[in-house]
Structure 1
Amino acid sequence: MNFHIMMRRNFLRFAICLNLGCVFVPFLFAQTKIVLDLQRTIELANDSSLEAFRVRNLYLSGYWEYRTYKANRLPSITLNATPAEYNRAITQRYDSENDVDVYRSQQSYFAYGNLSVKQNLDWTGGTFYVNSNLSYIRSFGATDATQFTSVPLRIGYSQSLLGYNAFKWEKRIEPLKYEKVKKQLIYNMEAVSEQATTYFFALAMADAKYKLAQDIVASSDTLYRMGMQRHKIAAISQADLLTLKLDLVNARNTLQNIAISRKRAMFALASYLGMDKNTEIQLDLPGRPHEISIMVDKALNLAKENNPSFLEWKQNVLEAQQALDKAKKESRLNASFDASVGYNQVADNLSDAYRRPMQQELVSVSFSIPLLDWGVSKGKRNMAHNNLEVVKTSSRQGELTLEEEVIMTVNDFNIQQSLIASAEEALDLSILAYNETRQRFVIGKTDINSLTLSLNRQQEAQQNYISALQNYWLNYYKIRKLTLHDFASGFSLSEKFDYNLNSRW
């Protein structure tokens, strides 16, 4: 293997440092150690993080809302009953013999039961129903009486003739809402992946700075010792020796500060992944990714097809149109129709209450006409109309913003691939340059300023390389989130979700 590549990998391999200092020794003995690469980090985040738990429950809430809508489209069977009702009171009655109203004491026992089957019809907005009921009443007092009344069967249909049809709008909106909920889950899980990537590379950057700070401390210590020896033979000045000592002190202080930042980054990643807070995480940094070419037009089409925001904007427009339709129809003539046919009977005993029932028929047509409401209905219509225009405008603005975000993210991603190669080359050159400068300083052919400048360039090159990797993977998972599509495999995340849904829930 090429010597330079080996050196670069040594600089970028984030091994657990055994010489963290005595202040961290008791803590390390109590820690659990784990090695994570980027893919494993994302898998743990999607499986165990609190955010993943939250978004799954958001999905389940929408899922059961849709199940409720579907259930409302099926026949419902309801039993209503009043098994016992006792009443003792003094009531006003008319005495026909004396032509006066009198108060009389009355006691009664009442029981009632009703079994009803209903079916809502989306295309008409009406309700078809079948029911049967039985009532029992017994009066106590001067005259005892017992009666049963039954409706063995009644079939009917009720319909709003000119009014607002809520069922029709629900049929258009509810399936769209559930489709949005499904894709919102995928979107949110990809956002979890994106956030996990941010935490991963935050620790990777802190880890790289910590490893480099350790190397700087070791190098500064070596150079200071060499400087003291050279100062004894007057090879360097007192000012240069003091500069070397200052570099050593600053390097040690920097190492302590970086160790604190590294621990915070490690704690943040462990907490996000649902791990124990004392977990010691060693990262396996990904190498240069395979080159993926993403076309902007394809990404835009996939975003319009899959992104839940487009479905939400469409839902908002439909709901605004629904509100306008309701305001219009409730402000004018409203007529309803109800018709039923069945049988009923009354008798002193239960068996006779079902013998030779008489036919029962009901036809009812009612309407209401607002004659004067001082502009209330007109105001509601205008508000609903204006709200619809606002929603349409907001939806269009949201679409333009999202399209711009997709275009910029794809362009950044495509550029970032070349930046990784450039940053990698710069890192190799900075390592070679520093080693060469260090050797020249050892033999006295360069000064301390050149060595410090070379070390700073190496540190900057290393950070730029990790930043390039971070930006690449953040843009990659952001594109997955925006389009719900995996461009690396060419697989739709929506299809993958349907498979996981059946297997998990």
Structure 2
Amino acid sequence: MKLKLIISTYLFMLLWHNSLAQQNKMSLEQVLDLAQTKSLDAFLQKNMFQARQWEYKSYLADRLPNLSLGMTPFDYNRSFVSRYNSVNNQDEFKEQQSLYSYARMSLSQNLSFTGGTIYVDSDFGRLQNYGDTDSRSYTTTPVRIGLIQPLFAYNEQKWMSKLAPLKFAKAKKEYISNTQVINLKAIELFFNQVLASLNEQIASTNKKNSSLLYDIGKKRFEIAAIKESELLNLELNVLQANIELVKSEKLLQQACFDLNLFLDIDKEFVHKLILPENISNLSIDAGLAMDLALKNNPLLLEEKQNQIQAEMEVEKTKKESRFQATLNASYGLNQQAESLKSAYEKPLDQQKVKFSVEIPLLDWGKRRGKYKMALSDSEVIRLQAKQREMDFAQEVSQKVIDFNLQKSLVDNSKRAAIVAQKSYDVNLQLFKDGKLTVLELDDALRKQSAAQKDYLNHLKDYWLYYYSIQQYTLYDFRAKTELEKLFETRLREM
């Protein structure tokens, strides 16, 4: 029993120690998760999307019936006005005092297919006169239905019904795309710290080795086994190693600070990073990536939006260059009386019809010029959109090619780093045995450092290529799913 207890206690302490050791370590996936939830960039993108979301909600609200109440509780007027005196046959000034009150309830609905507005309203008015002729009267319109309809005019509501849903769809895709930009920034900062940490380790190792080699060199110089120039070179290596160590420590601190600041976490939290070396044999189909990019990327939705706006401007200038006509018609019930009750009894018909026309006669070609300019702008936008689509397709294709080739570069550079490390270890031992010159050892050291840095840079490029393609396509090729589906819950919560 005691042996089992000792073994259990030992295993528990071992696991506890390992968990503590992992607390200050963070993988790339953990860094990306933090970047999406805690970084200032993520907060900014979220608020920018929410602004576009409220803009779309305002558009939807404009398409619904609008109920409003307008009131003038009192409008008091005391002034002298000109009046005709029929007895004296002359105009004279009389003092007038009046109090007017008014209220109107209106229910209106915009008609997007015609550009007009239909409404139903009811109003009430009260007029109180003071002075020599004290009187009170009421006027009411219990119900009235009306239509305000521009004829042969530019219909902004029709175009907004095309633009608003497109702009909101683009805003959603832009938000998801911008989160991938955050991933790319996080990867840059992650590998900046990894590279800085590697440089610091290399510099620390170089300092230790250069000091050891210098001590060996001094002993060999005493027995004339090496030249003075070689000894001086070894001493120079020690000094340079000390300088490089200080510089690398400073750069590592800055890299750690930059990453922690970006993630908005405690500066001591992310001190060690776990290298994302476990890459899969994923190969992305270029045709599938292109189809997804053309379907999902917000850049192409923006081009479509620009084209619709250009077409809208063409129609607007075309319609405005012609005559403008408006029909305003209403039918209701109306009554006036000296008491409120009587004002609602036996209302009379009220009909109003107004047709107005404005015809441009002479504008020196101003309207025609605007129309031609809008046509030219529309054609320019169409051609620019075509060119951007071609450039975009080429960029996506190149990124897919780069990614599919990158795994081979990562594997080869990793193998090269292992070989370079073994080569340096062998050469170091040969130097200690007196079978290698200082210059040959320095060359092995440079190759070892370069191979390690090449491996990290190729690994960094692998993840940058992957998340760049994910940004273009808004598709997770590892999970084989649309990013919009992954973001649905987050978007609904906003």
Name the TM-score class by shorter chain.
over 0.9
Report the Cα distance in structure 2 between the residues aligned to 1:96 and 1:309, rounded to whole angstroms: 78
Partner residue of 1:268?
A: 258
Equivalent runs, 1:253-332 vs 2, <5 Å: 253-277=243-267, 279=269, 281-332=271-322
Deviations, residues 297-319 of structure 1 (Å, cap 9, x unaligned):
21111111000010011001101
Among candidates 403, 411, 426, match of residue 393 of structure 2: 403
* Shift, 1:97, TM fit: 4.1
Partner residue of 1:15?
A: none
* Contact 1:288-1:420 within 8 A present in 2 as well: no
Classify the secondary structure of the residue corresponding to 1:158. Answer: strand
Q: Which amino acid aligns with 1:405?
A: E
Report the Cα distance in structure 1 between the residues aligned to 2:67 and 2:282, rounded to whole angstroms: 57
Report the Cα distance in structure 1 between the residues aligned to 2:86 and 2:288, rounded to whole angstroms: 89
Equivalent runs, 1:461-472 vs 2, <5 Å: 461-472=451-462
Classify the secondary structure of the residue corresponding to 2:276. Answer: coil
Partner residue of 2:450?
A: 460
Equivalent runs, 1:239-254 vs 2, <5 Å: 239-254=229-244
Greater Cα offset, 224-233 or 275-284 = 275-284
* Contact 1:116-1:130 within 8 A present in 2 as well: yes
Report the Cα distance in structure 1 between the residues aligned to 2:393 and 2:156, rounded to whole angstroms: 34
* Shift, 1:338, TM fit: 2.1
Normalising by the residue count of structure 2, what TM-score does the alignment of the two structures yield? 0.93
* Contact 2:84-2:91 within 8 A present in 1 as well: yes
Report the Cα distance in structure 1 between the residues aligned to 2:230 and 2:269, rounded to whole angstroms: 43
Greater Cα offset, 143-152 or 400-409 = 400-409
Equivalent runs, 1:29-428 vs 2, <5 Å: 34-277=24-267, 279=269, 281-428=271-418
Report the Cα distance in structure 2 between the residues aligned to 1:453 and 1:94, rounded to whole angstroms: 115
Deviations, residues 182-210 of structure 1 (Å, cap 9, x unaligned):
00000000100011001101111111111
Distance 1:319 1:97, change over 3 A: farther
Partner residue of 1:25?
A: none
Report the Cα distance in structure 2 between the residues aligned to 1:61 and 1:180, rounded to whole angstroms: 13
* Shift, 1:278, TM fit: 5.4
Classify the secondary structure of the residue corresponding to 1:415. Answer: helix
Classify the secondary structure of the residue corresponding to 1:384. Answer: helix
In the alignment, structure 2 segments of 5+ residues that lack a partner are 1-22
Report the Cα distance in structure 2 between the residues aligned to 1:479 and 1:251, rounded to whole angstroms: 41
Report the Cα distance in structure 1 between the residues aligned to 2:352 and 2:48, rounded to whole angstroms: 47
Partner residue of 2:432?
A: 442
Report the Cα distance in structure 1 between the residues aligned to 2:229 and 2:369, rounded to whole angstroms: 85
Aligned residues: 472
Deviations, residues 320-374 of structure 1 (Å, cap 9, x unaligned):
1111111111111222222211101111111111011111111222222111111
In the alignment, structure 1 segments of 5+ residues that lack a partner are 1-32
Greater Cα offset, 485-494 or 72-81 = 485-494
Report the Cα distance in structure 2 between the residues aligned to 1:328 and 1:148, rounded to whole angstroms: 48
Sequence identity of aligned pairs in percent? Answer: 38
Report the Cα distance in structure 2 between the residues aligned to 1:118 and 1:193, rounded to whole angstroms: 47
Report the Cα distance in structure 1 between the residues aligned to 2:300 and 2:178, rounded to whole angstroms: 15
Deviations, residues 75-108 of structure 1 (Å, cap 9, x unaligned):
0000000111111111223334444332221111
Classify the secondary structure of the residue corresponding to 1:355. Answer: coil
Q: Which amino acid aligns with 1:479?
A: I
Deviations, residues 475-498 of structure 1 (Å, cap 9, x unaligned):
111100011011111110122222
* Contact 2:26-2:270 within 8 A present in 1 as well: no
Partner residue of 1:30?
A: none
Distance 1:99 1:410, change over 3 A: farther
* Contact 2:102-2:123 within 8 A present in 1 as well: yes
Normalising by the residue count of structure 1, what TM-score does the alignment of the two structures yield? 0.91
